[in-house]
Amino acid sequence: MFYTYGDGTYRQTRRDAAPIIGRLPAGAYRVTSIERDSVEFATLTPSTEPVFFLDTPEMRMVRREVEAFFDPATTARLQAAGLKHRRGIILHGPPGTGKTSLMRQLFPFLIECGAVIIADCNADHLEGAIIPAIRESDPDRPIVLFFDEFDKNASHSRAELLQLLDGLTSPDHLLTIGCTNDLKAIPLQLRNRPSRFGLILKIDRLAEGVHERLAEQKYPTLSRADRQFAVRLTRELPIDYLEEACKLFLMGYDPDEISDRLQAIAPVRSNGG
């Protein structure tokens, strides 16, 4: 059971006259405290920026992989074979190609399916404290682990992650999703089994037309001319630069100033083959 404190925080240990709930509500959380007999979960406050929906082949592949995790027929086949119900996804590629945006737009679907999403936690405490806290009164609860910089966790906690994903005592009903700018930084020992990470997908560059759609969806108050200028200026750059250009327009900079500022920080691109 958990005690709720009205501010999106849930604890296993009562500190005052807090109401009791039987299970952690479906949602996205960050673990803010781990004590000997208690774990504290804080609800992640949704970003005020609108989610940009990437309707791309890569997005559809990820969506199918996630839907398969929640497919009762898949769960039943694994259980009949005596196998744990686990699945994993790694998205990799250069910064600014939409990896995090792609995952953010899946959060509502995951929550709708009743999952508890744990974002960027310390992998060392997952099997010993965090997952048992969720499962104590809810043993079949689907748990989604989301790591925005998976290479850092994988390098620091390789043994713990291997145990979590493949060990004799590792938990059931677990979906692990990691994003990284450098796939090679994730130890081969972790990523070399499709049963751990069945989808390892490179997001190299955004599809044609995505820059235009993002500018229109996220910055509708900009004039059409300003949006088109920002798109032309950043078409060959990571999408972060389009965001910067649009924000600079909103801050009152003129096109020449925006061009100068982005050229000063843009990555150098080789002309060689």
Task: Reply yes or no on whether the pLDDT at 262 is more than 50.
Answer: yes
Question: With bands split at pLDDT 50, 70 and 90, how would you rate the model's confidence at 5?
Answer: confident
What pLDDT is stored for residue 122 in this prediction?
87
Instruction: Pull the structure tokens for residue 54.
Output: 């990437």
DSSP type of residue 126: I
More confident residue, 13 or 134: 134
DSSP reduced 3-state for 77: helix
| Separation CA 92–CA 86 (nearest Å) | 20
Q: What is the CATH T-level fold of the domain 57-202, as seen in this structure?
A: Rossmann fold (3.40.50)
Q: Read off the pLDDT of each residue in 210-229 and give the average, rounded to a whole number.
A: 89
Question: With bands split at pLDDT 50, 70 and 90, how would you rate the model's confidence at 11?
Answer: confident
Question: Of 61, 121, 118, 122, which Cα lies nearest the Cα of 90?
Answer: 61
What pLDDT is stored for residue 18 in this prediction?
64
What pLDDT is stored for residue 206 in this prediction?
66
pLDDT digits (tens, 9 = 90+) for 148-160: 999 988 888 888 8
| Separation CA 257–CA 251 (nearest Å) | 11
Domain positions in the chain: 2-43, 57-202, 210-265
Question: Of 237, 233, 207, 264, which Cα lies nearest the Cα of 96?
Answer: 237
pTM: 0.80
pLDDT digits (tens, 9 = 90+) for 79-130: 999 989 999 999 998 877 778 778 888 899 999 999 999 998 888 899 989 9
What pLDDT is stored for residue 272 in this prediction?
38
